[in-house]
Structure formats: C-alpha cells, structure tokens
Amino acid sequence: MKQLRYLLNIVPSNTLGNRGCAVSSAVPVGSALHKDTPLVTHNTIPSIIDVCPHCFSKASSCRCSNSPYLDALQRHCIPSLLQDNLGGHHSRLEGLTLKVLIQLTVQPEDYISKYQNLCYTVLPDDYLKGVMKGLGEVYSLVTSKHPRFVEDNMAMVMGRVRLNQIGFENEHGNCGAVFDTLSYVNHSCVPNSEIEWEESGNWTLRSVREINEGEEVTFDYLGGGKDLGVAKRRQLLEEMWGFKCNCEACQIRRKKGKGRVMGKRLQLKKFK
C-alpha cells in the first residue's frame, strides 16, 4: 500500500470528548489522509454464509480448524438468525456484535488488543439482556466454548460496536463496520473530510477542504445529514451513537432559528 503523506494522530478530542484524530501537518483539499480496512463488517441482506468469518476463505472449500462455529453459521444467515431470535427486529448493532464475539474467540492477540483499545458506551441492562437472549444458539456456543464471555464482557463488546460502528450502503444493503483507526474520527455536521469505500475493501479518509496542522479531522456520520434540520440530526445522532451534537453548525443554526422566529413574531405584531 502506498505510504500516505499525512499522519493521523489519535489525540484527546476537542469536539466530543474522549479521543479523536488530528493531522500532523497542513493538508490541501482532496488529499487522502488515511486508508483502513475494517476489523469487522456486517450487512443486513439475507444470504446463506458461504465465507468463513474467521479465515475469510470459501466455506465450501475450507474447513477452518479455528472455526468451531462455522457449521452453526452455515445453517443460517446471520440476518435471518437475528430476525428469528429477536422477534422480527435485527440491526447492524446485533449483527456486528455477533461477528465480533465470534472473531474475538479465534483472532490473534493484536486483533483483540486493537478492538479492546476502542472506547465504549454503556448500554441499558434490559437492552443487553434482550439481545443476549435473542442471540440464543450462537451466544450459547460462544459462552460454552469460551467462559470469559460473561455478561460484563458482552456489555463492553456491544458498547464498543455501538459507539464505533460506521454505517454505509452498497450492493450488499445496509452495512456497518468497526475500524482500528477510522472509528476514532469524530462527527461534525460541517466536516473537513469524508470516507470513500472501495470495492477492494479499503476505506479512504479524504479531505474536503484545507485542514490546518494539528486540527481535528471529522466526517458526517449521517452521510448528508446537513440536509436535515438541526433537531432531526441531533435526534438521529443521539439514537444511533449516544451523543448530542453541539458542533458549530448546530449551535449557529439553533441561534439563527430562534432569531427567525422572533423576527416573524415582531413583524406580525407590527402589522396588527
């Protein structure tokens, strides 16, 4: 892979708290800042699994010795399994969690440490219990073979997925992915970068304007959320990632919104 000129540093975030990514030098518009491949991905299109989720070889030509769950997974497609067990509801969150649980049992230590280094958010107990019950057969397989996957561990796995997943759409439907580095990049409604997905599986973070040395890099989690109203954007961001957006655009537009309402009221009073 070609070495990129611009180094991303993981730093304390000035926007959302916790951590974010900042550039080590000034960046012109249109520059590739970082290339990344997902730690784990999931899509919601029902299709029988024909690729081992551990070694990523074709299941028909591979009996992966590290994959004790391959037979169970081949009998179901993950979206259908979740739909059946969760009473008609499944999402990227459950799908990604299921695949992370499976991969954490067989992947090398560097994969596990990368995933465990990610921040996580606390999820409600009743939600966690519902999902663990819903995952049914596969969760039982994981915990029986690997007792360390107790409820507390499951909570952290799910919390990391929820906070760090990046959603996208392609021919496979609505997809989600968790990354080693890109998952640290924070949201802004007026971002300075965007993420491009390539058929090769690489994801590229690219600047959409000039970025100053040391400036934090951001992208729009909603992928076009600027076309939504402030209230709707904030609602979606809180529902999906658990934070209220207070970026400059949201603050300015809320203030302008109040001003416009006040101006309208004054005009109405004037002409009565």
Q: Each residue of 78-113: pLDDT tens digit?
A: 555 555 544 444 455 666 676 676 666 666 677 777
How many H helices and E strands in the chain?
8, 10
The answer to whether the beta carbons of residues 220 and 226 sit under 8 Å apart is: yes
| Best CA proximity match to 64, nearest among 43, 77, 49, 46 | 49
Say whether 259 sits in a helix, a strand or coil: helix
Statement: residue 243 has pLDDT above 50:
yes
How sure is the predictor about 52, in pLDDT bands with cuts at 50, 70 and 90?
Answer: very low
The answer to whether the beta carbons of residues 62 and 33 sit under 8 Å apart is: no
Q: Cα–Cα distance between 270 and 131 in angstroms, integer?
A: 58
pLDDT score of 225 = 63
Domain boundaries along the sequence of the chain = 54-169, 229-272
pLDDT score of 90 = 43
Phi/psi at 165 (5° precision): -70, 145
* Tokens standing for residue 147: 């007792």
Q: For residue range 183-212, what is the model confidence (pLDDT) as tens digits?
A: 889 888 889 999 887 766 678 899 999 999
